[in-house]
Amino acid sequence: MADTRLIHGRYRLMDLIGRGGMGEVWQARDESLGRHVAVKCLKPLGPQHDQTFIRVLRERFRREARVAAALQHRGVTVVHDFGEDEGVLYLVMELLEGRNLSQLLEDNKQHPLPVSDVVDIAEQVADALAYTHEQSIVHRDLKPANIMRLTDGTVKICDFGIARLGHDIGFTSRLTGTGIAMGTPHYMSPEQIGGGHVDHRSDLYSLGCVLYEIATGVPPFDLDDAWGVLVGHRDTPPEPLRTHRPELPGFIDRIVLDLLAKTPEDRPHDAKDLRRRITAAVRTAPGAPAPVNPAVPPQVPHPRSGERGLPSWTRGMTTGHKAAGVSALSAVPPDHTAGLTGEWTTGVRLHDPVLVQPPRPERPTPSPELLAVLTSRHNAGLSLGRLGRWEEAGEVHRAVAAEREHALGPDHPDTLASRYEVGFTLSRTGRTADALREFGRVAEGRERTMGADHPETLAARQETAYVLGQLGRHFDAHQVYTSVLASRMRTVGPEHPDTLRCRHNLAFNLSRLGRLEDSYRMADEVATARARVLGAGHPDTLVTRYEVAYALGQLGRWTEALATYREVAAGRAQTLGPDHPDTLSARYEVGISLGRLGRSAEALELYRALVDDRTRVHGPGDAETLRARHGVGVNLGRLARWEEALAEARDVCGIRERVLGPDHPDTLVSRREIAVGLGWLGRWGDALAVYRQVAEARERVLGADHPDSLASRNDEAHCLEQLGRGGEAVELYRRVAALRQQRGSRGR
């Protein structure tokens, strides 16, 4: 972008203020009005970048423009204009002369600001927040880098890029789940961290963090580990400010600690309430100490909280940007973009001369700081996945993958690691075909750069096989698993955990190919080996024992299957806990086995207990709770308690239709159970109508020759026979037979 470029025929770019991975900020001249402005430009991203990442980034930019342009207050940065020019999105705003709070702390060598400045900043920010909150706008990323102190003393809030409009929750929540702007760990409220409801009181908490830092020189939870910081915000009471700076007035300590209350209800009601508290406290504290002389700053101890006990999954993470201090990213240059955004950093200050940039190679060597940021975001995505937040994790990994590809190249191990995680999140969110393409791409890239037998290459190929199985392509999956297994055996041996994992997956796939004896033998061998290597109670051992039980059931060996399922359920209860989903799943299979053995009274008792536990843990509308209730109904029928069975089936079907939809497979299974109950009660006319509903829905969704559709038409024909309509029944049986034959011919 040339220095003399004219944006939209009006804004002439003069001096570069800041540059980041996604764009630039320029000091510019508005040729129409003859004034200097700041222009923020999002540089064009080509087709080589991840399209989801591009879409979210552009939406975020437009969002910032729309939200910020609507705000008119002396404490908020003024946006003059925004638009798009030759594919470049731009935002025009007032040019701010001053320093953000992060820079002020840096200038003061990380010592706290004078008390009078802390009070003045608190009052002005409270006024600005009161205004923005009245507009139903929550900033969501308040931090020192987003609060500017101008040369005339005015304080302004900047960067409403991830603000949430009260009436537009869904749109913004998608943007904040991408990792582009998810809030900064040192200033996030507990409700942001927990994914709960966020309102204006979240900004008050973030302001409390900012005031704590400018009053003491350190943030309230000063850990080097990002997730440790989040856990601190969520669970740990902050130390009083006067433990770090004894001369602080007591009212500052009280006000800031009130802002840092863990629950929103315990904080000030709103920013106006905060402003009143500050005014009243200042008025009643005439003996407040004089401002601290910044030339002789007090020596503030730097708290280290690393010794606190934190979950093991918080280890190895790095923090996001804080105002300053000893973060793992402390070498990142401070934000010098005149408050326009905390995301873009540069060494060029507003009043420095413009630096002449030397010619760059085609792919410049990325800075260690950028790589550290990307690693931190990658790890944040992994942690979201561990929490089961797969959609958010996927957005984070897509964004990081796009930036890594741009900075490092498509075949760099870090880029491929991000792509691998993208594939993993896609498979966990039902986008199986997309996951297959992603894993294939990763496998090819790793084979090119690392070799065919490298563990990372084999991991990608193994995930490719798993996704092929999810798509029902079990023969293709079998070929990939067999090839990967040969490599694993050759490189790491038969009892390496990776080899055993591959053999487990192969056993699973064999059962889906109908090779039940082979599946059983392999699963039994893997379970024995895993018990020897990992221990009998290890979750991986129990997963394979579960597969052994499944194979036994498919072979009709239900007594052995029942014993194995019970062994797995007991082992999981001890290792994972009685309420763990895997424990409850094993108990469900125990009930299936009891029913298959004709022990319906025991199965009914088990399913009723399971329904109670599922309801307590997951709620009455959860799919697994309803599946257990379906088991209750089935076993009531087997005990000839048909009125109760019919009532249970109708209740479960109604909930499934409301929660899952009328054509969901589980809903149709429940509807069929209604028809079964009606038939056993002799109400064949009513049963016929329900059987037809199920058959028509399955044909509509699955096709006329799908096995489930054909089974439903057989049910309908049987019902016609019971009604004495033999001719119609015979015709329907013939139609079903013809469709089966056609399907068989296509299969050959």
pLDDT at residue 57, as a whole number: 64
For CA atoms 168, 170, 174, 177, give the dihedral sign. Answer: positive
Distance between CA atoms of residues 583 and 444, nearest Å? 38
Structure-token match 């510019």, residue found: 28
166: which 2 tokens? 């009260």
Non-local CB neighbours of 152 within 8 Å, separated by 6+ positions: none
Domains of the chain: 6-94 (3.30.200.20), 98-284 (1.10.510.10), 383-491 (1.25.40.10), 688-748 (no CATH)
Contact indicator for 23, 87 with CB cutoff of 8 Å? no
pLDDT at residue 746, as a whole number: 61
Instruction: Of 604, 613, 519, give the one whose Cα is nearest residue 573.
Output: 613
Instruction: Of 554, 460, 539, 471, give the one whose Cα is nearest residue 504.
Output: 539
Three-state helix/strand/coil letters over 286-330: CCCCCCCCCCCCCCCCCCCCCCCCCCHHHCCCCCCCCCCCCCCCC
> Across the beta sheet with 6-7, what order do the strands follow?
6-7, 11-19, 23-30, 35-42, 88-94, 79-85
Q: How many residues does the chain have?
A: 748
Verify whether residue 203 is a known catalytic residue: no
pLDDT at residue 25, as a whole number: 85
pLDDT at residue 290, as a whole number: 41
Beta bridge partners of 38: 27, 93
pLDDT at residue 183, as a whole number: 47
Distance between CA atoms of residues 180 and 537, nearest Å? 41
pLDDT at residue 552, as a whole number: 95
- Mean pLDDT in consecutive groups of 10 residues from the start of the chain, 748 residues: 72 82 80 87 62 64 72 87 82 89 88 92 96 88 90 86 38 32 70 81 96 94 72 88 92 96 95 93 61 35 34 35 39 30 29 35 72 84 83 90 90 92 92 93 92 91 92 92 92 88 92 91 94 88 94 94 96 90 94 95 96 92 92 95 95 92 92 94 95 94 90 92 92 90 66
Contact indicator for 580, 572 with CB cutoff of 8 Å? yes
At residue 317, φ and ψ (nearest 5 deg) are -95, 155
Contact indicator for 587, 568 with CB cutoff of 8 Å? no
Distance between CA atoms of residues 735 and 365, nearest Å? 68
Q: How is 583-629 classified by DSSP, letter by letter?
A: HHHHHHHHHHHHHHTT-HHHHHHHHHHHHHHHHHHH-TTSHHHHHHH
At residue 91, φ and ψ (nearest 5 deg) are -135, 130
Interhelix angle 497-512/516-533, rounded to 10 degrees, is: 160
547: which 2 tokens? 């597969």
At residue 302, φ and ψ (nearest 5 deg) are -100, 105
| Cα distances (angstroms) measured from residue 405 to each of 48, 84, 399, 411, 449 | 9, 26, 10, 8, 15
Four-CA torsion 276, 277, 281, 284, nearest 10 degrees:
60
107: which 2 tokens? 């200038």
Give the CA radius of gyration of the chain: 32
3-class secondary structure, 367: coil
212: which 2 tokens? 């704590």
Distance between CA atoms of residues 346 and 366, nearest Å? 14
Distance between CA atoms of residues 54 and 45, nearest Å? 7
Catalytic residue selected from 50, 117, 141, 414: 141
